[in-house]
Amino acid sequence: MNRARTTSIASALRQRCAVAGFCVLVLPCTSSLHAQAVRGVVTSRGEGNAPVVFAEVTAVASGLRSRTNSYGEFRLLAAPGDSIRIRALGFRERRLLAGTSSLTILLEPLPTMLDKVVTTVGQREITTGQSPASITVLSKNDIAAAGAVSANQLLRRIPGLQEIGSPPAQTSIAIRGLDQSRVLVLIDGEPVAGAMTENRDIGRLSTMAAERIEVVKGPSSVEYGSEALGGVVNLVTAAPATAFIAEATVRTGELGRRESALEISDTYGRVGVRLNGGWRQSDRVTAISASSTTLDRVYDFRGDTRIRLSDRIQLRSDPTMSQQRQRWPVGAGFNGFIDNRTVQGFVEAQMKLAGGMLRARTFGQRYAYQFREALGLLPITGSADSLEQRERMARGLIAYSRMAGQHSLDAGVQFSARGIVSPTKITGDSVNDRVVEVFARDAWTIGSVLLTAGARTSSSSLWGNAISPSVGAVWQVQPMVRVRANVARGFRAPSFKELRYTFINGAAGYQIVGNPDLRPESSWSTTVGGTWVPAAGLSLELEGYRNTLANLIATRDIGLNNAGLIIFRNINVERARTEGIEASVRHASARTELSLGYDYLRARDLLTGRTLDGRATHTARAAVSQRWTQLGGTAADLSTRFTGAAPRGMIVQGSFLSVDGQVRVGLRRAMELSLGVTNLLDQQPTGWTAAFQRQVYVGLRGGYHAAR
């Protein structure tokens, strides 16, 4: 009886196993017979709805999976009614039913995920949370809240960034203690003019048409090449509007502030066009202490045309033009004049190819600089150093990006042909250069960890070779905690003037000569930081950094020439280190945002032990923004920024506390009135120029926005 019962049980088990095997082996096959191709795009629910790359998309029943490409697109076989699961590092998991053949999926970023868009290697756009670097992105709202018409007026409000003037009338932004030629300034990923002739001035960079301004802190030569030694400032212009808009802005205020701007934009079928023109003027020059006859006037034009030839191919063309005049007293009743003229632009094609994205871009630039003197308010032809110095550049980029499993790969090559003409200032009056660069970068997602590694090699016909590697990691410890670390090497190639400059000032008794044997400056940077979100809307960030610089180029006295003049020559001698800690707290609710930031900087010349000129040890900022629905929408922004004392030559530049504010009131549809003030308390500490005096201004913005 027991044997019969045992036999019966065994028979039942065999039947159940057979049924289970049928379910395991046959049902998926049956399901796959009814499966359909589901296509979709995964984007971030945040600013710009940026595509989420290498997100894992899984059909739960069958286990089939796919990953999104560079555009956030995916293709997956799934049966109707099947559950689809979407996972991506830094985002909340989402599930939905495969009810249609085309899906648009928005993922909610985790509280620690920074979802603002930033440009990376090969001109590809990613979110800031997909990079281990320290990145600050100023949005269009941030620019409007500051009422800033030029980039320097906006960037100097960020802790860790300081504005430093340089003769004769230029200003630059220092990132973590490194400024001028060691900070690369770009418009849509292309360099602003003036770098080759050492005529950098970030005050020329208008915020007109800006969609955002990206600030990368630390060496970024893998992504951008030379000059990205201390960091990068990249102004990204807005895309054409999807419906017709025509908008004008005017402002007027103290210190001779006058400005106006006009924008016209629309999309006609597959073609989008945006045109921006503007004019701005001030009776102050940022780097000049005088205020009697000073003038800074800039005219700007920026255009953007984008053509969608098909779902696979897109074209873009961006021209930019700028003209600036600066005037200031130089003594004995004379005024100095600087005229800068720039024309530049690029043409780009993007094409989906072999599961990835191919980008080809050509860029051209022409720039002219002229300095003159005169007794009146207008320059005189042939006065002082009236010969023009001219720059020209042409470069091409081919880059390819592709998702491969858990890897996001970028690779490309860039070729540049550059030259300057500087009569009587450079040996032979002109010099040319050819640069070839090859780069590659991999971002590898392993569960809650993102690993990055990349390198760029640069070869120049003028200054030799440079290799720039970088490695980084991001770890999503838990939804509320995210840590990151990055190690990178940056370099700055010697400029044309440093290599070939020849200039004699007999009255002053000296001669400057170039040095064709100069080597590129280099920097190794290490950063470690993290983000903690203890409660909804509240975030805290902390980051430590160290930059060690070698082969810094400095001008040294090397003796006398045959005429008895002192000879100065550029040589690789200096070493420096900048290190510090940045901390910030941010709280945001539906209508109110409060932020606090602090940066401690220790910037030292390692040969002398002295603090680098103009570098304040302490900088801080507090800002609050409030929004109301009354009066057609009202916004109030108030910020306080503190810059500590810093050495500047033979003096100590005093600490500076500036209180800035602006109120914007919506008068009617597409019209806004603004009233603002900078340096409300009219602080004028030692070493700060007249351009930083209190300024009250009023503005009006209005236009027509078509509905679509």
Residue 32 maps to which CATH number? 2.60.40.4130
Mean pLDDT, to the nearest integer, of 216-238?
89
Does 568 or 600 have the greater pLDDT score? Answer: 600
The model's pTM is 0.86
Asked if the structure places residue 4 within a domain, the reply is: no
Q: Has residue 385 got a pLDDT over 90?
A: no
Asked if the structure places residue 10 within a domain, the reply is: no
In contact, 39 and 75? CB cutoff 8 Å? yes
Return the pLDDT at 536.
Answer: 81
* Unique residue bearing structure tokens 């910030």: 584
Q: Has residue 358 got a pLDDT over 90?
A: yes
Same-domain status, 345 and 279 = yes
Instruction: Say which range, 120-129, 309-318, 335-344, 354-363, has the weakest mean pLDDT.
Output: 120-129
Asked if the structure places residue 587 within a domain, the reply is: yes
Instruction: Judge if the upstream peptide bond of residue 168 is cis by omega within 30 degrees of 0.
Output: yes
Token pair for 234: 């990249």
Asked if the structure places residue 7 within a domain, the reply is: no
pLDDT-derived band at 277 (thresholds 50, 70, 90) equals: very high
pLDDT-derived band at 708 (thresholds 50, 70, 90) equals: low
Return the pLDDT at 2.
Answer: 47
End of a domain among 107, 127, 148? Answer: 107
End of a domain among 86, 107, 128? Answer: 107
Instruction: Say which range, 321-325, 478-482, 653-657, has the weakest mean pLDDT.
Output: 478-482
Q: CA 59, CA 53: separation in Å to the nearest integer?
A: 18
Q: Has residue 9 got a pLDDT over 50?
A: no
Contacts of residue 246, Cβ cutoff 8 Å, sequence gap at least 6: 262, 263, 264, 703, 704
Give the count of beta carbons closer than 10 Å to the beta carbon of residue 413: 15
Asked if the structure places residue 240 within a domain, the reply is: yes
DSSP state of 377: S
Q: Has residue 335 got a pLDDT over 70?
A: yes
Mean pLDDT, to the nearest integer, of 324-334?
90
Same-domain status, 144 and 283 = yes
Return the pLDDT at 32.
Answer: 47
pLDDT-derived band at 30 (thresholds 50, 70, 90) equals: very low
Mean pLDDT, to the nearest integer, of 338-344?
95
Same-domain status, 282 and 172 = yes
Q: Has residue 25 got a pLDDT over 60?
A: no
DSSP state of 367: E
Asked if the structure places residue 2 within a domain, the reply is: no
Same-domain status, 634 and 606 = yes
DSSP state of 159: T
CA torsion angle 286 288 294 295 (round to 10): -30
% of residues, the chain, pLDDT over 70: 93
End of a domain among 57, 72, 107? Answer: 107
Return the pLDDT at 670.
Answer: 78
Q: From the centroid of its chain, how far is CA 438?
A: 21
Backbone angles phi, psi at 443, to 5 degrees: -115, 120
Q: CA 259, CA 208: separation in Å to the nearest integer?
A: 11
Q: CA 294, CA 297: separation in Å to the nearest integer?
A: 10
Asked if the structure places residue 600 within a domain, the reply is: yes
Mean pLDDT, to the nearest integer, of 354-367?
94
Give the count of beta carbons closer than 10 Å to the beta carbon of residue 13: 10
Closest residue by Cα to residue 47 from 212, 233, 232, 210: 212
At 117-167, the pLDDT tens digits run: 777 777 777 777 778 888 888 888 899 988 888 898 889 888 788 888 776
Asked if the structure places residue 9 within a domain, the reply is: no
Return the pLDDT at 28.
Answer: 46
DSSP state of 242: S
Mean pLDDT, to the nearest integer, of 511-524?
90
Could you report how far apart the first and last alpha carbons of the chain are, in Å? Answer: 83
Q: CA 90, CA 44: separation in Å to the nearest integer?
A: 10
DSSP-based three-state secondary structure for 15: helix
Return the pLDDT at 53.
Answer: 78
Tell me how many domains the chain contains: 2
Backbone angles phi, psi at 515, to 5 degrees: -140, 100
Return the pLDDT at 272.
Answer: 97
In contact, 180 and 604? CB cutoff 8 Å? no
* Residue ranges in 183-260 assigned as alpha helix (H): 221-224
% of residues, the chain, pLDDT over 90: 48
Backbone angles phi, psi at 46, to 5 degrees: -170, -160
Return the pLDDT at 603.
Answer: 93
Same-domain status, 217 and 100 = no
Q: Has residue 567 got a pLDDT over 50?
A: yes
Instruction: Say which range, 168-182, 376-390, 417-431, 531-545, has the weakest mean pLDDT.
Output: 376-390
Which domain, by its residues, includes 31?
24-107
Return the pLDDT at 651.
Answer: 87
Same-domain status, 232 and 321 = yes
Enclosing H/E stretch for 368: strand 356-374
In contact, 294 and 335? CB cutoff 8 Å? no
Contacts by residues 678-682 (CB-CB < 8 Å, ≥ 24 positions apart): 678/147, 678/153, 681/657
Same-domain status, 364 and 469 = yes
Pairing of strands 183-187, 231-237: parallel
Q: Has residue 190 got a pLDDT over 90?
A: yes
pLDDT-derived band at 31 (thresholds 50, 70, 90) equals: very low
Which residues, in sequence order, are bridge partners of residue 40?
74, 103
DSSP-based three-state secondary structure for 200: coil
pLDDT-derived band at 46 (thresholds 50, 70, 90) equals: low
Same-domain status, 127 and 102 = no
Residue 278 sits in a domain whose CATH number is 2.40.170.20
At 574-619, the pLDDT tens digits run: 899 999 999 999 998 888 999 999 999 999 989 888 888 889 999 9
Same-domain status, 73 and 152 = no
Instruction: Say which range, 95-99, 142-146, 624-628, has the weakest mean pLDDT.
Output: 95-99
Work out the angle at residue 447's Cα, subtended by the Cα atoms of residues 442 and 452, and round it to the nearest 5 degrees.
20
In contact, 559 and 512? CB cutoff 8 Å? no
Same-domain status, 455 and 428 = yes
Q: From the centroid of its chain, how far is CA 524?
A: 20
Instruction: Supply the mean pLDDT for the chain.
Output: 87
In contact, 83 and 60? CB cutoff 8 Å? yes
Same-domain status, 281 and 158 = yes
Q: Has residue 493 got a pLDDT over 70?
A: yes
pLDDT-derived band at 20 (thresholds 50, 70, 90) equals: very low
Mean pLDDT, to the nearest integer, of 308-319?
95
Same-domain status, 39 and 90 = yes
Q: Has residue 481 got a pLDDT over 50?
A: yes
Q: Has residue 707 got a pLDDT over 50?
A: yes
pLDDT-derived band at 228 (thresholds 50, 70, 90) equals: confident
Q: Has residue 3 got a pLDDT over 80?
A: no
The DSSP annotation for 608-642 comes to T-PBPTT--SEEEEEEEEEEE-GGG-EEEEEEEEE
Q: CA 203, CA 182: separation in Å to the nearest integer?
A: 16
Return the pLDDT at 612.
Answer: 87
Q: CA 659, CA 5: separation in Å to the nearest integer?
A: 91
Per this entry, what is the length of the chain?
708
H, E, C per residue of 275-320? EEEEEEEECCCCCCCCCCCCEEEEEEEEEEEEEECCCCEEEEEEEE
Enclosing H/E stretch for 707: none
